[in-house]
Amino acid sequence: MYTTIMPALSSSSSSICTFLLVFLLVVRASNCAAKATKSSRPPRQLSVDYYAKKCPQLEQLVGSVTSQQFKEAPVSGPATIRLFFHDCFVEGCDASILISTNPGSKELAEKDAEDNKDLRVEGFQTISKAKDLVERKCPGIVSCADILAIAARDYVHLAGGPYYQVKKGRWDGKISMASRVPYNIPRANFTIDQLLKLFNSKGLTLEDLVVLSGAHTFGFAHCKQFVSRLYNYRGTKQPDPGMDPRLLKALKMSCPQFGGNPDIIAPFDVTTPFLFDHAYYGNLEAKLGLLASDQALFLDPRTKPLVQQLGKDKKSFFQAFSIAMEKMGSIGVKRGRRHGETRRVCSMHT
């Protein structure tokens, strides 16, 4: 159940929209979670037709689930894309984020890491439902890792973004440890230097950083991820001067510095929060970025030109995003029984 608060903000600047919708939703935080460790191995070969003979209807099966889930719970889209990102950045794209901690185990699985507790349940539900359907038609054939990659693509397209071919052939990982999550997931207050160091460690470039950040064209963040920008930006005890005053005022109304509701969230893209488009980049130019790490992309001279370019050209963004998603989807791919498995149930090792 959602409670939506939509304050209208007046603007004194003709260059920004007269009215800006800021959605603040009260939701129940899920205990869902995330990933594991660094993946510096070179990507193994993947192919679009990997399941052409053994499960030719795979994409239709996954698509039937994602389309229904998107109608029932649109937040499933950004939730699943974030799940895919977290999976690839920790231990590689191997569905290790989906493993549940064994009862009584001293070692928590990735999804139970502190950094992953904000991952929404709808993303996990999507993959579980799709896997159940695929197993009924193609038992023991398709990896959870490939289903996650396909579902992420589906949601990008369902929300208005590009449709791109997904290369397949990933095996599911055998290792899922919460201790491998820290330092592999970017923080909301990261500088460009910190972001580049992390992305470079995954084989991704500055351009990949800017383009993949465009996934914040839809989805939401909890107050705790940006509250420091509202009251004590980088220890100054003042708000971030790089945030539009109207947005600052609206966010302060529902995100107090202390004692606020931990379940309140706000959209990354305050202009078209439920569409996958290129408005995110225009928002950064207008000082409407939600996270400090988002707004930093426009402030840093290394990334600013690309932000401006993508903000003017949706087609270029869609093309670049498709390429970057394929590249990210190749991080740390597992192949063979020595390093991987094909799980029957995504939350349990075979």
* Residues annotated as part of the active site: 86
| 272 annotated to bind ligand | yes
Q: Is 22 annotated for ligand binding?
A: no
Alpha-carbon distance of 274 to 155, in angstroms, equals 11
Q: Residue 152 is which amino acid? A: A
103 labeled binding residue: no
Side-chain-facing half-sphere of 228: CA atoms under 13 Å:
12
- Residue 269 labelled as part of a binding site: yes
Does 244 belong to an annotated binding site? no
Residue 41: name the closest of 176, 145, 167, 173 by CA.
173
From the centroid of its chain, how far is CA 185?
A: 11
- The answer to the question of whether 110 is labelled as a binding residue is yes
DSSP state of 171: B
Q: Do you know the residue count of the chain?
A: 350
* Phi/psi-derived region of residue 79, left when phi > 0, alpha when psi is between -120 and 50, beta in every other case: alpha
**Are 292 and 189 in contact, with CB atoms under 8 Å apart?**
yes
326 assigned ligand-binding residue: no
Q: Is 76 annotated as a binding residue?
A: no
Q: What is the DSSP string of 296-340?
A: HHHHSTTTHHHHHHHHH-HHHHHHHHHHHHHHHTTTT-B-STTTE
Please name the helix (run of DSSP H) or strand (run of DSSP E) that holds residue 71, with its range, or none: helix 58-72
At position 167, the amino acid (one-letter code) is K
Rounded Cα gap, residues 250 and 90, in angstroms: 35
115 is in an annotated binding site: no
| 121 among annotated binding-site residues | no
**Is residue 96 marked as binding?**
yes
| 87 marked as binding residue | yes
Instruction: Please give the Cα distance from 324 to 152 (Å, whole number).
Output: 13
- Taking the C-alpha atoms of residue 340 and residue 337, their distance in angstroms, rounded to an integer, is 5
**Where is the binding site for Ca(2+), in residues?**
87, 90, 92, 94, 96, 110, 217, 269, 272, 277
Return binding residues for heme b. 216
Residues at the binding site are: 87, 90, 92, 94, 96, 110, 186, 216-217, 269, 272, 277
